[in-house]
Each structure stands twice: as structure tokens, then as C-alpha cells.
Amino acid sequence: MDVNLAKYDNSSYHTGRNFIVRLLWYYTNILFVNNGFFPFSGFYKFLLRLFGAKIGKGVVIKPSVNIKYPWRLKIGDYSWIGENVWIDNLNDVEIGNNVVLSQGAMLLCGNHNYKKSTFDLITGKIVLEDGVWIGAKTVVTAGVTCYKNSILTVNSVASKDLEENGIYRGSPAEKISERKIEN
């Protein structure tokens, strides 16, 4: 059987908000959050909270961040979101305390089922526990949990869970060592 995108049906997927709210967010995101002309973290946090994001204290959000649905986003205390991070949260994204998402990192909660001729949408939650560091130009895929203090190094792809205190590299990411944090 061949792929038949004419039969693609995404009607079972629900974004969690109505069309008007999604449209308002779309333009707010383009004009302010995913725009390098407004380098004001406090303003970004205000807008994200206005649209339903749960954001802790001391969070830093750099310019040119792209967030699909803020109402599906939770960020703990003292976490940092770097420039050009793309949070494609078709499902829930939970970011713990003291988490770093470095420049150009991507959190991708959705994909398509390549085994089906209709290329159905599949989504999964992403969880980044406390102390996780997601390096620059990395990708974390749907359904992945990065456990406490794990690291995904530059230009790597996490397509399965990262163990607590594990350091991962590559595509797909493989554990290369243990993280030891000194006081």
C-alpha cells in the first residue's frame, strides 16, 4: 500500500483551546515572543502566563523562542530558555527547576505514523526533570523523559528516556558517562 495523504484525518487531535484563542496566540507569538526585537524576559513570561502557561520564579526566556501552545507548557523555578528554542508542544511539556534549554534546542511532541498509509498524527508528552541540560541544536522527541540532572550534548537527538545523571551524545543519543555535580 502507498501513502495516501488525501485520507489524512487529524480531527481526533485537540489543541486544548478554541480557534480564536489559538489565532490570538499565533499572532502574539509572532509579534512578541518569537521576535528578537523584544528582548524582555518578563514580558514573554507575562504573555505566556496570559495564555495559560505555568511559569515559576526566576525563569529566563531569551528572544526568538517559539512556543506552539503555551497552555500545554509548565516551567519550574530558575530555568533558562535560550535563543531560538522551539517548543512544538502538541502535547504537554513539563520543564522542572534549574533546567537549561540551550540555543536552538527543539522539543518535538508530535510526529506521524509512517506505518499507516494515512500518516496519522501521534503525540507524546515531554518531561525534563530538575537540573536537566539540553544542549544547543539538540532534539528531544515525543514521549521522552529526561530524568534529574541528565545532559543531552550539542547536536544530539533524544528519542528515548535519559537516565538520571547520565550524559548523552549522538543521534540517536547514547549514554557516554555519568554527571558528577560538585558543590
Q: What is the pLDDT of residues 20-77, one digit of tens each?
A: 999 999 999 999 999 888 888 999 999 999 999 999 999 999 999 999 999 999 999 9
Is pLDDT at 1 greater than 90 in this prediction?
Answer: no
Alpha carbons 42 and 140: distance in angstroms, whole number: 26
Q: Residue 26: exposed, middle, or buried by beta-carbon count in 10 A (0-12, 13-18, 19+)?
A: exposed
Alpha carbons 39 and 62: distance in angstroms, whole number: 7
User: What is the DSSP track for 44-102?
Assistant: HHHHHHHTT-EE-TT-EE-SS-EES-GGGEEE-TT-EE-TT-EEE-SS-EEE-TT-EE-
pLDDT above 70: percentage of residues in the chain: 100
Model pLDDT, residue 81: 98
Other C-beta atoms closer than 10 Å to the C-beta of 12 total 7
Model pLDDT, residue 37: 87
Model pLDDT, residue 38: 81
Alpha carbons 85 and 82: distance in angstroms, whole number: 6
Report the chain's mean pLDDT, rounded to a whole number: 96
Cis previous bond, 63, omega within 30: no
Residue in this structure with the C-alpha cell 550524559, named with its chain if needed: 167
Q: What class is the 17-174 domain?
A: mainly beta
Alpha carbons 103 and 83: distance in angstroms, whole number: 5
Is pLDDT at 182 greater than 90 in this prediction?
Answer: yes
Model pLDDT, residue 87: 98
- Can you tell me the mean pLDDT for 93-100? 98
- Can you tell me the mean pLDDT for 131-141? 98
- Can you tell me the mean pLDDT for 156-173? 98
More confident call, 172 vs 1:
172
